[in-house]
Structure 1
Amino acid sequence: MTKNNNAGNDQPSPRKRAPRAVKLDRGAYGEDIARPSPDTAATLSMTSDFTPDSEDYFDKVNETSETRYKPVRKRGWSLSAFFWSAFSGIVMLAIGLWLDRLIRDLFARWDYLGWAGLALVAIAILSLLFFVARELLALRRLSHLDHLRAKVEDIYQEGDRKDAQQIANNLLDLYKEQPSLFRARQTLKQDLPHLFDREDILAQTEQILMPPIDRLVTHRVHQAAKRVAVVTALSPRALFDIVVVLVETIRMVRFIAESYGNRPGFVAMLRLTGHIASHLAVTGGMAAGESLLQQIVGHGLAARLSAKLGEGLLNGILTARIGLTTIALCRPMPFITEPQPQLGAVIKTLRATSEEMEKEEEEELSGKNKGTKR
């Protein structure tokens, strides 16, 4: 009896499970949990994605239109390079012969005229040499930014702490002459010795150095797009519209490049313009027309807008797209942790501006109609 009572009172000891090895690509207790059943797979395949109509279009504009672009560098000499080199040599020889004949004629007329002409030729040659040297430095800075951005992408994918530290030091050296980034530089110098991972070093460098410049150039893009839209809507001549758009776009591109440490010259500006055109072609250029305007601002607003307001809104959108492309090309670091400026935000600002101008125009028309009725 005693044994039976003790046996009844004692609880069965829990059975200990023996250790086992589990593969990571399987479920914790086998393949039955890791793989879905046929019924579950059929149910999942029958489900469809539903996108509500209330979802804002402008939140997705930049996902399809702004893809990352890298300028393709061609190696070697092409036929066009040989042609332009030979043609430039012929032009230089012709200019040299013309200057030689001119100097000889001046000396034949009067010695002082010959010396004056020779001095002017020397000044022109020295100015040309300084111009070429400045343009070569500007091209070197542009190539340095392209190389630095590509190197950051490679190191973020596969690299070590030493490479990431070198990138951070290069960026600190690039912005050492900007007073607005003095506190950011000091903060980054204090944080770098305590970071041991390449992702952390690159992320900290971007989060400290880039946001002040990003905010500055993004504000400049918004202002340029708004200015182009307003001036185009109010200008009476189409030729004046073209001049305003070109001047404002060039000023915006130069400002963005200088803010990121490029300071482009004439030739570097032409090269940067070629990169921008290639980027817009690769990402899919938006055709200027009524269908584009309706797609961006909506059919209701597009129907209410006048022709000049619609043209101004479209020019502002295209100017903003050029500005965002310039930011992506001139920024020494790709957007890793910081949010990339979106085209949708600029479009919303331009749409609000167009609606305000449309209301003012309607109020003016209603005031004129009341005056004529009286």
Structure 2
Amino acid sequence: MHLNRPALIEAEDGPAADPGLEAAVPDLQPSGSDPQTADRITARPVSARPVSALSRAALWVFGTLLGFVLSVAAWDFVATLLARDSLLGWIAMALVSAAILVLLLIALREAAAFARIARIDRLRNRAIAARARTDLPAARSIVAALQTIYATRPETAWGRARLGEQQTEIFDADALLDLAERELMAPLDKAALAEIESAARQVATVTALVPMALADVATALFANLRMIRRLSQIYGGRSSSLGNLALLRRVFTALLGAGAVALADDLIGSFASGGLLAKLSRRFGEGVVNGALTARVGLAAMEACRPLPFVALEKPGTTATISRALAGFLSRDKDPA
């Protein structure tokens, strides 16, 4: 009878391996970063695709042609009236001059709005780059820019005072940006969440109570545009009409970049609540779903308008925001029980 004995393998002659002499395991995370927030630091916001040279050329050509045609038509109109009646001609010239002045003022306002939005975008990109490189001078420059932007905002006065007292004692870029986010962004985030919840409640209420066709669609459109404008104003962008459309495009680009799976996972609880309410009323179920979609758009707009990415502060969850916004609707399904 043969017994299975363990095999004995003798080590080869030579010096034993010293663990202290082995190469260190490379660090896959940025230096000075928290493992729980490393993914949020490296995550970049989804930006719109750059406009091609052909698209820019086409826009310039057609815009110039349209302006030239309108200018010639206005000139012919004024010249004809001057030849027919000098008084009517001068009145027409004054009206055309006033219209041109108003158009110039609108163009200047839109350009200023786009410049403010671009300034917020540059600050966010600079903050991401400063964290990636642990660049302390860049972080101090970003904090100074934030203090300038919010210098006249009363809700940030206490945070600005605390930031001014403590920033000279901090010599780490990540810690300085974290302090700025906690002191300056916290009150603004609270106001932004209040706007998102208000818009979601409004859309849900109109959808549930107004039986008119397309009323919920129009309400959702105007509520989302107003919500995005308010969020931009809260974070210092002060958007205008064209700026709202640009922000809306960026928001939906971010939603598409998040992926359908993540969006469905965020909204599955709201759809379930809407299904429960639909047993009582179809309009109440639709109201919950439309309100949830509005809240999801608002959270994406909040992240797009924010000058600092979410790192030190926890990013608002979709489910919790929807639950707070639609608390009145979600509690109705428990009453009959």
Normalising by structure 1, what TM-score? 0.74
Q: Amino acid of the residue matched to residue 45 of structure 2?
A: Y
Taking the TM superposition and a 5 Å limit, the aligned residue runs for 1:1-374 are 22-23=20-21, 69-74=45-50, 77-285=52-260, 296-297=271-272, 301=276, 304-349=279-324, 352-358=327-333
Identify unmatched segments of 5+ residues in structure 2: 1-17, 26-38
Find the aligned partners of 1:262 and 1:299 in 2 and give their Cα distance.
35
Q: Is the 8 A contact 2:160 2:184 kept in 1?
A: yes
Q: CA deviation at 1:106?
A: 0.9
CA separation in 1, counterparts of 2:243 and 2:273?
A: 39
User: 2:223 & 2:274 partners in 1: Cα distance?
Assistant: 29
CA contact (8 A) 2:78 2:89 kept: yes
Q: Unmatched 5+ residue regions in structure 1?
A: 1-19, 28-62, 364-374
Distance 1:68 1:325, change over 3 A: farther
Q: CA deviation at 1:297?
A: 2.2
Please state how far the C-alpha of 1:88 moved relative to its aligned partner. 1.3
Q: Distance in 2 between matches of 1:283 and 1:312?
A: 24
Mapped to 1, the partners of 2:261 and 2:135 lie a distance apart of: 41
Rg (Cα) greater in structure: 1
> For the residues of structure 2 that align with 1:277 and 1:94, how far apart are their CA atoms?
35
Report the number of matched residues. 302
Secondary structure of 2:331 counterpart: helix
1:193 to 1:114, Cα distance in 2 relative to 1, 3 A: same
1:2-58: per-residue Cα shift (whole Å, max 9, x none)?
xxxxxxxxxxxxxxxxxx88247689xxxxxxxxxxxxxxxxxxxxxxxxxxxxxxx
| 2:6 alignment partner in structure 1 | none
- How far apart are the structure 1 equivalents of 2:193 and 2:154? 20
Change in Cα spacing, 1:124 to 1:81, as seen in structure 2 (3 Å) is same
Paired residue type of 1:106: L
Change in Cα spacing, 1:287 to 1:166, as seen in structure 2 (3 Å) is closer
- Counterpart of 2:247, as a letter, is L
1:168-200 per-residue CA deviation (whole Å, 9 max, x = no partner) reads 000000101112212211211111111111111
Q: TM-score, normalised by structure 2?
A: 0.81
Identity of aligned residues (%): 31
CA distance in 2, matches of 1:287, 1:108: 67
CA distance in structure 2 between the partners assigned to 1:144 and 1:218 by the alignment: 22
Check conservation: 2:48, 2:253, Cα contact below 8 A: no
Residue 299 to residue 330, structure 1, CA distance change in 2 (3 Å): closer
> SS at the partner of 1:238?
coil
Q: Is the 8 A contact 2:204 2:288 kept in 1?
A: yes
The Cα shift of 1:347 comes to: 3.0
- Going from structure 1 to structure 2, the CA distance change for 1:217 and 1:74 (only over 3 Å counts) comes to same
Are residues 139 and 230 of structure 1, via their aligned partners in 2, closer, same or farther at CA, if it must alter by over 3 Å? same
Give the partner amino acid of 1:82: A
